[in-house]
């Protein structure tokens, strides 16, 4: 159902049982998956693909050109995964040609009011961004990560799977998976034990991750030495490998 006051480009691809509310504007080259509900006064500018069963609340603005001085009008894109909820006044900008060309939001994310996702960000599945959380360009957020309210994350930072970033934090370096980080500038505060238990991680996995965290961050050795010790002393569970590979691949440096 499309409200008669909505303005929808005639070439928009609209799935079954889609609802578009009053005064919303849907631009060119937009695809809307089945069962998606778009509220009133939403603006979706161009080159946006929205998966099925999403909810986009009033006054969200999606698909505007990136806020980048290097952007010269190239055609770039946004992809939003199935079941994602986008609350009031959220802003999501298209990618840049030099940054990969796409801003990609995973399935079943929950983007609370006034959050901002800048160009070329890659957001994993089931990410939660609380009110007023802000991502600079080229940021990667891992699956099941939670970003607290009023958090600001510097461009090119990576946040690992299942990490929790506390409210009002300023994040300028990479945050490993499975940890809690908070503060200005953000520092680590241990493993995200509560979140990991809620996601069903086993006692054995938690025990091995605690060993990794202690070796890497608590005994005062270099990262290279810590990686060697983890490889030799800790069972190489998938989560342990994820943790260490994240650290090894970091380009901005690791929050500690």
Among the options 93, 119, 138, 162, which is catalytic?
119
Active site residue 120: yes
C-alpha 80/C-alpha 95 separation (Å) is: 13
Active site residue 119: yes
What is the residue whose two structure tokens read 């080159």?
47
Listed in sequence order, the residues at least 6 apart from 79 whose beta carbon sits closer than 8 Å to its beta carbon are 48, 49, 51, 102, 103, 104, 105
Among the options 21, 51, 99, 137, which is catalytic?
137
User: What count of other Cβ atoms lies within 10 Å of the Cβ of residue 134?
Assistant: 17
The tokens describing 158, both together, are 């990576």
Among the options 104, 120, 161, 174, which is catalytic?
120
C-alpha 136/C-alpha 118 separation (Å) is: 5
Q: Which residues pair with 146 in a beta bridge?
A: 128, 164
Q: Which residues participate in catalysis according to the annotation?
A: 119-120, 137
């Amino acid at each position: 159902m499309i409200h008669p006051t909505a303005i929808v480009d005639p070439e928009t691809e609209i799935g079954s049982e889609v609802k578009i509310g009053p005064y919303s504007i849907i631009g060119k080259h937009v695809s809307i998956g089945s069962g998606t509900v778009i509220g009133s006064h939403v603006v979706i500018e161009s080159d946006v693909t929205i998966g099925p069963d999403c909810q986009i609340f009033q006054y969200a603005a999606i698909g505007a050109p990136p806020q980048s001085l290097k952007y010269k009008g190239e055609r770039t894109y946004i992809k939003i995964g199935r079941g994602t909820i986008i609350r009031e006044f959220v802003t999501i900008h298209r990618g840049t040609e030099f940054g990969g060309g796409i801003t990609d939001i995973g399935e079943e994310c929950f983007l609370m009011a006034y959050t901002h996702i800048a160009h070329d960000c890659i957001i994993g599945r089931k990410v939660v961004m609380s009110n007023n959380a802000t991502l600079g360009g080229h940021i990667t957020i891992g699956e099941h990560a939670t970003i607290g309210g009023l958090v600001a994350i510097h461009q090119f930072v990576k946040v690992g799977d299942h990490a929790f970033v506390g409210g009002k934090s300023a994040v300028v370096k990479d945050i490993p998976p499975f940890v809690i980080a908070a503060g200005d500038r953000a520092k680590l505060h241990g493993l995200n034990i509560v979140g990991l238990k809620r996601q069903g991680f086993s006692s054995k996995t938690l025990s091995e991750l605690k060993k990794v965290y202690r070796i890497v961050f608590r005994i005062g050795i270099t990262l290279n030495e810590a990686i060697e010790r983890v490889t030799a002393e800790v069972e190489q569970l998938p989560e342990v490998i994820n943790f260490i590979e994240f650290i090894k691949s970091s380009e901005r440096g690791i929050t500690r």
